[in-house]
Amino acid sequence: MKLLILGATFFALYTIQKYIEVRRVIKSVHSHPGTRTIFSLRSLIGNILPRIPGVSRGINANWVGKHKPYAEAGWDVLANVTFVPSAAVTLSLADAAAIKEITTARARFPKPIKQYKLVSFFGDNIIASEGEEWKRYRKIAAPAFNDRNNKLIWDETLRIMLDLFDNVWGSQDTIVVEHGISLTQPVTEYLGAIAAIPPGHRMAFKDALNEVSQGCLTKFLVPSWAMGLHEHTRTVRLAFEELEIHMLEMISKRRNEGKKEERYDLLSSLLDASIEDPTFTDRDLMGNIFIFLVAGHETTAHTLCFTFALLALYPEEQEILFQHIKSVLSDGRLPVNSIPKYSIEDTTLTISNGAGDKRIIPVPKDAHIVINAVGLHYNPRYWKDPEEFRPARFLDPDWPRDAFVPFSAGSFSETEAVAVLTMLVLKYQFEVKEEPQFASESFEERKARVLASKPGLTMSPIRVPLVFRRR
């Protein structure tokens, strides 16, 4: 009984203390509107629970909410407050001017390096660094992003696509693809990720890569002693171990090959740099290779898959793209979700809304800041009918550049994605596969179904069934 009273007293004190902290935090941003939830995404529970109003926001909140929460609040910046692990404010931005201010003032609003530890398992890297270290990594990676390499990537991707058309799809007029993600194969092939399990391994490179990018959050949040307790966490643990061995083998293989062949990929650039620059350690090499594998692999594969889905849903847009590609190639040639920041000092941010009101909100030191790319891209203040798939909006010379922050993985994956898309659209016409169980769905239902996603390191398409017909 005594223990119970003691427990209750502690709980009451804890609640009062949290309440006072939260009041202070809310006051520090002049009670700017935003969501109040108990668990933040910086806590394990916050990552596990779905969206429960007042309790947790769910890991997919930005995508689910799009611009709606901002429209409801009347401001394109929200000051969300959470209680656990500690009372804290997170500014969630869908305001182009405020985002520009934050991204240009790199020194005042650096990346929260600690949060990026999520992608630093194998070593520090260009994404998880700031300042001098970031500059050093960038200098080493930059030479790989040139026109010559782009051309080689382009040619290599075309070769892989032609091989798919000639030797796999062959003379079939209709090809059913159960999930569009399988068409993003070139991305993986060009990375040299092999599908077979080589001797001495327990997992193929390709599977290890997939499991690791899906399992990053698990690995980050689950303590290592607990990773052996469940089938799923055991697989993730194995994938991490295997990927490390695969990467080490890849490095030593390339090192032994020397510079015989002309190499055009980032891995070779990083290797060359590590040979020329003795301060570039093996950890640096591993950390950055991992980042480019994940960035190159995941972002491109998923973006491409969503693009297939949209073009399948909007045949008129697909036709426009086809005509455009044909006209470009008329001479017979073959052709090319949220960002965290924080403030290092007490500062302010000027924000405005669709009605033309302006407001200056305080940004306390150490406030978390999230650039909500989804909120921005669906903000009707900048984009007319933001829910519509209308690629032609980018043809308007005055399209709002400040309201577009795709944070792409760079020209490497762009070149490749455009090559895959061009080849497919040129040779095939495609649509969403008709399936009896979905016979009566409306266009909007179908669109929601094929664009459905699950959050991972990047947003993953769940299932995009397509039918390709030879043109």
Residues that bind ligand NAG (CB under 6 A): 34-35, 57, 61-62, 65, 69, 78, 80, 90, 92, 370
Comparing CB distances to ligand NAG, the nearer of 59 and 243 is 59
Cis before 69 (ω within 30): no
Task: Judge whether 60 and 16 are in contact, CB under 8 Å.
Answer: no
Q: What is the DSSP letter of 43?
A: S
Nearest approach, Cβ of residue 380 and ligand NAG (Å): 16
Comparing CB distances to ligand NAG, the nearer of 62 and 125 is 62
Nearest approach, Cβ of residue 368 and ligand NAG (Å): 7
Give the DSSP letter string of 401-460: GGG-------HHHHHHHHHHHHHHHHHEEEEEPP-GGGTT--HHHHHHHHT-EE-SSS-E
- Cα–Cα distance list, 355 to 18, 71, 75, 76, 446 (Å): 36, 11, 9, 11, 34
Nearest approach, Cβ of residue 90 and ligand NAG (Å): 5
Residue 97 and residue 53: Cα distance in Å, rounded?
29
Task: Judge whether 93 and 371 are in contact, CB under 8 Å.
Answer: yes
Comparing CB distances to ligand NAG, the nearer of 71 and 164 is 71
Comparing CB distances to ligand NAG, the nearer of 193 and 367 is 367
Comparing CB distances to ligand NAG, the nearer of 69 and 186 is 69
Query: Which residues sit opposite 352 in a β-bridge?
Result: 358
Which residues contact residue 140 at a Cβ distance below 8 angstroms, ignoring those fewer than 6 apart?
269, 270, 273, 277, 280, 288
Nearest approach, Cβ of residue 78 and ligand NAG (Å): 5
How many other C-beta atoms lie within 10 A of the C-beta of residue 248? 15
Nearest approach, Cβ of residue 100 and ligand NAG (Å): 18
Comparing CB distances to ligand NAG, the nearer of 62 and 213 is 62
Nearest approach, Cβ of residue 36 and ligand NAG (Å): 9
